[in-house]
Amino acid sequence: MTTTKRVDPAELAKLPCTGPSFDDLRGKLDPIVARYPQRAAALLPVLWVVQRARAGWLHPKSIREVAEYLAVPQAHVEGVITFYTMFKDQPVGRDVVVVCKTLSCRLRGAQEVMDALEDHFGIDMGGTTKDGRYTIETGECLGLCDMAPCMTIDEERHGNLTPESAVKTLEGRPR
């Protein structure tokens, strides 16, 4: 099995930064900033909008632009996005799959689900499928304990998984 390789942070800037230009995003961002007494306070929602608009991850250029836009240091933005797991500082697949690894799901077979996904797609948890379609990672409690084991695909919820149904769900979605 391949070990997922993170891109060295120093090399990230060489990757393309896809998506709309920052000027084109301002129309969405300015109203968010206007809701807060201080610009810096808008950091989380602004990052979220930029991440969604730009291929689901925050390119160093995006970080620089957000830092400049909100007048906060780049190092501060880096700290925030590496703290919150829903912000990505590495390229991701088209959709992000999060398999719950917390207690209830574990008791109901989450490990088998993870193993099946790893085997089927030939990646480690945290990796991206070769076709670039999915990044599959583990996460803390998703709040769906009543349907453990569970996972999310972007904002869709899927519960009562079996190893087979998890694979089928991912393969069965429209390409």
Partner 1 sequence: MTAALRETPAPTNPPTKTVTLEIDGRTVTVPEGTSVYDAAKSLQIDVPVLCHDPRLRPVGVCRMCVVEIEGARTLQASCVRPAESGMKVKTGSAVVVRNRKMLCELLMADQRPASARDATTGDDQLFAIARDLGADASRLKSVTAPAAVHPRKRDNSSHVIAVDHQACILCDRCIRACDDVQGNHVIGRSGKGYGTTISFDTDVPMGTSTCVECGECASVCPTGALTNKPVTIAMTPRNTLKQVESVCPYCGVGCALKLHVDTAANRVVMSEGRSPSGNDARLCVKGRYGFDYASHPHRLTKPLIRKETAYPKGPLTATGRREDDGTRGADVYPDYAQALSAFREATWDEALDLVARRLREARDRFGSPAMAGFGSAKCSNEEAYLFQKMVRSVFGTNNVDHCTRLCHASSVAALLECVGSGAVSTIYRDIENSDVAILTGTNTTSNHPVAATFFKEAARKGTKLIVIDVRRPDIADHAWQYVQILPGSDVSFYNAVMHVILEEGLEDRAYIEKFTENFEALREVVKRYTPEVASPICGIEPDRIRLIARTIGAAKAMLVFWGMGISQHVHGTDNARCLISLCLVTGNVGRPGTGLHPLRGQNNVQGASDAGLIPMMYPDYQPVANDATREKFQKAWGTTLDPNPGKTVVEISHAVEKGTVLAMYVMGENPFLSDPNVQRVRDAFCKLDFLVVQDIFLTETAEVADVVLPSTSYFEKTGTYTNTDRRVQLGRPALDPPGEARLDWRILVDVMERMGAKQPYRGIEDVFDEFVRLNNSYANLAYRHLGGAGKLWPCPDPENSEGTVVLFGDGFPTKSGRAKFSPAEVIPPAELPSAEFPFVLNTGRTLQHWHTGSMTRRAKMLDAIEPEAYCEMNAADLVRLGIADDAFVRLSTRRNSIRVRVRATHKVQLGGVFIPFHFREAAANLLTNDVIDPKGKIPEFKFCAVNVEAA
Query: Which positions lie near partner 1, rule CB under 8 A?
Result: 9-10, 12-13, 60, 63-64, 71, 73-79, 82-83, 89
CB of 64 to partner 1, least distance (A): 7
The CA distance from 47 to 56, in Å, is 11
Which residue, 141 or 147, has its beta carbon nearer to partner 1? 141
**Six token digits for residue 55:** 């291929």
Which residue, 9 or 20, has its beta carbon nearer to partner 1? 9
**Six token digits for residue 29:** 């961002």
Which residue, 10 or 34, has its beta carbon nearer to partner 1? 10
Could you tell me which residues come within 8 angstroms of residue 92 by beta carbon, excluding any fewer than 6 positions away? 55, 56, 57, 128, 135
CB of 70 to partner 1, least distance (A): 12
CB of 57 to partner 1, least distance (A): 12
Which residue, 89 or 137, has its beta carbon nearer to partner 1? 89
Judge residue 28's burial from the number of C-beta atoms within 10 Å of its C-beta, 0-12 exposed, 13-18 middle, 19 or more buried. middle
Whether residue 161 contacts residue 150, with contact meaning beta carbons closer than 8 Å, is answered with yes
